[in-house]
Chains A and B, each alone.
Chain A
Amino acid sequence: DAGVTQSPTHLIKTRGQQVTLRCSPKSGHDTVSWYQQALGQGPQFIFQYYEEEERQRGNFPDRFSGHQFPNYSSELNVNALLLGDSALYLCASSRPGVSMDYGYTFGSGTRLTVV
């Protein structure tokens, strides 16, 4: 049973560029959440997608956008990259129908470096 798959694993971009990160959720999961984890810090919630719509958003600027496809996979897009966007981006999948469970599964993340 494949877990959460994220691609690419590493990425180097230049300031001002745009980047797209991808996530395939665990089989049976239909909700995808994205987190940003700066070096030495805890992950910060970016947004969550369910039924191809953004359901909740954290304190991130509009430069961060996302998409969810009919097969539940998701993309995270970041425009006009800043040096401060350098971080590990984690994707987590879950099933919303199971309340207060611990059904979050995380991927290994995409490490983005902005130079």
Chain B
Amino acid sequence: AQKITQTQPGMFVQEKEAVTLDCTYDTSDPSYGLFWYKQPSSGEMIFLIYQGSYDQQNATEGRYSLNFQKARKSANLVISASQLGDSAMYFCAMRLNRGSGNTGKLIFGQGTTLQVKP
């Protein structure tokens, strides 16, 4: 069964330092996409970064990068130069390729709460 696992319920990081949030996934489908979302207390899911299963290079978006290790089925998010505004809940999610009745639903992990200390 498809599953996303985030083993860090909570993380602390000092402002301006880098932090890595862990994510492992499980699927036998060769074609999938991996996402990271940020959810502040307001509730909205904010898209951060995307990695396709066939992408050769790790995705980067500004201060966010995704450490994609396909053989280990891991897709860790790295936030560089943490800011106070980065304090939020972070979710890793997977989407299987369309086909076989799948329309692209997202499967989410349990999330990691990140707190940035001044």
| Known contacts A100-B33, A109-B44, A111-B43, A43 near B108 by CB under 8 Å | yes
CB neighbors of A among B76-113 (8 A): 91, 93, 95, 97-98, 101-111
Q: What count of chain B residues pass the 8 Å CB interface test?
A: 29
For residue B91, which residue of chain A has the nearest CB? A42
Bitwise, A38-70 to B at CB < 8 A (1) or not (0) is 001111110010100001101000000000000
Bitwise, B23-37 to A at CB < 8 A (1) or not (0) is 000000001010101
* Residues on the B chain within 8 Å of A90, using CB: 43, 45
**With A and B bound together, what is the CA distance between A108 and B43 in angstroms?**
5
* Residues on the B chain within 8 Å of A42, using CB: 4, 91, 93, 108-111
Q: Does B68 contact A (CB under 8 A)?
A: no
CB proximity of A57 to chain B, nearest CB, Å: 9
B43 in contact with A109 (CB, 8 Å): yes
* Residues on the A chain within 8 Å of B43, using CB: 88, 90, 108-109, 111
**Interface band, chain A:** 20 to 34
Q: B105: which of A41, A50, A56, A96 is its contact (CB, 8 Å)?
A: A56
For residue B51, which residue of chain A has the nearest CB? A102
* Residues on the B chain within 8 Å of A55, using CB: 103
**With A and B bound together, what is the CA distance between A105 and B44 in angstroms?**
9
B105 in contact with A102 (CB, 8 Å): no
B105 in contact with A48 (CB, 8 Å): yes
**With A and B bound together, what is the CA distance between A109 and B105 in angstroms?**
17
Question: By CB atoms of chain B within 10 A, which of A101, A106, A108, A109 has the most?
Answer: A106
For residue A105, which residue of chain B has the nearest CB? B47
Chosen A-B contacts, 28 in total, with CB atoms closer than 8 Å, are: A31-B103, A33-B106, A42-B109, A42-B110, A42-B111, A43-B45, A43-B91, A45-B105, A45-B106, A48-B103, A56-B101, A56-B103, A88-B43, A90-B45, A94-B104, A96-B98, A96-B103, A100-B52, A100-B97, A101-B50, A102-B33, A102-B50, A104-B106, A106-B37, A106-B44, A107-B44, A108-B43, A111-B43
Beyond A56-B103, A100-B97, 20 extra complex contacts between A and B, CB < 8 Å: A40-B111, A41-B111, A45-B106, A45-B107, A48-B103, A48-B105, A56-B105, A90-B45, A92-B106, A94-B104, A96-B98, A99-B97, A99-B98, A100-B31, A101-B50, A102-B35, A104-B35, A105-B47, A106-B44, A107-B44
